[in-house]
Amino acid sequence: MTDSVRGYTTERSRARESEDESESTDSSEQLHCPECGGQLTTDTEHGETVCADCGLVVEEDEIDHGPEWRAFDSKEKDQKSRVGAPTTQMMHDKGLSTNIGWQDKDAYGKTLSSRQREKMQRLRTWNERFRTRDSKERNLKQALGEIDRMASALGLPENVRETASVIYRRALADDLLPGRSIEGVATSALYAAARQAGTPRSLDEIATVSRVEKDEIARTYRYVVRELGLEIQPADPEQYVPRFASELDLSDESERRARDLLKTAKDQGVHSGKSPVGLAAAAIYAAALLTNEKVTQSEVSDVANISEVTIRNRYHELLEAEEQLQVP
């Protein structure tokens, strides 16, 4: 009995070894030409695998995983493409659900009959109900809509909106919303995302487009950052300079001069405890004067959303820092 078991085990091990050898042989044959051992290349145009050395066709009629149509420009490609948009965090269902269009027309552009229009309206209603089946999804839909609205008003790029949506989703998953408004958490998520992306907006700017007060935004922002452990560096005044210079239509020389003033202020420690927006506005105003460009304090105040008094105070501090640097 023992000898038969031992013999059976030996036979199985030999069978395994032969299988392994055949698999390794097959894989090596797939990588190299079976005739000359040369390197194999894939000809996607003809759907063939051929040897680069001797030209032997090893495999033919391969499956083409690309589209069956051809396009010669991006517009034609968009027209012929039948796939949907990529998934996004900016939609509560990540863009995976069906959206029924509002144009009451068929595939040929013809207007639907009254009965068909009523049917499509009922389908839209039920589709919206199925897309937001519970309170969390309704909450998420409202919040992400708020984030998109505020980001559009502030001119923030898409990557900031994506990041803000992810921050809000994390806050919702960690149950940080009880006792706080949806708008407040959505606004604080957008404020944090803008700072993380290096395109910060001041609290005053955020408050002008938000539906909640400035104090609530600041309070909720501190809470969300603390609870989620977000790593956000203090705002750099230089990050505001390009936007202010662009809105005031200043030259590149003025923008460069403003950056130099802010760097000098940092070296002298003037920026400590000061509002980065105020410093950036003052640097823009000082740089415009130094480069003989006509800009008033009122214009800078309107763009930066900060008082003229603050601009004057920071302006004098920046010039004093510049003078101290020049003194030997």
What are the binding residues for Zn(2+)?
33, 36, 51, 54
Question: How far from the centroid of its chain's Cα atoms is residue 204's Cα?
Answer: 24
**In whole angstroms, what is the distance from residue 194 CA to residue 196 CA?**
5
CB 183 within 8 A of CB 146: yes
Beta bridge partners of residue 50, listed in sequence order: 41, 57
Instruction: Quickly tell me which residue has 């800009």 as its tokens.
Output: 295
CA dist 71 → 43, 79, 80, 86, 107 (Å): 20, 9, 8, 20, 22
User: Is-contact 243 194, C-beta < 8 A?
Assistant: no
Residues placed in the known binding site: 33, 36, 51, 54
Residues recorded for the chain: 328
In the chain, the N- to C-terminal Cα span, in Å, equals 102
d(CA 205, CA 189) in angstroms, rounded, equals 15
Q: Please enumerate in sequence order all residues whose Cβ is within 8 A of that of 61, keeping only pairs 6 or more positions apart, or say none.
A: 47
**Residue 323 structure tokens:** 């003078």
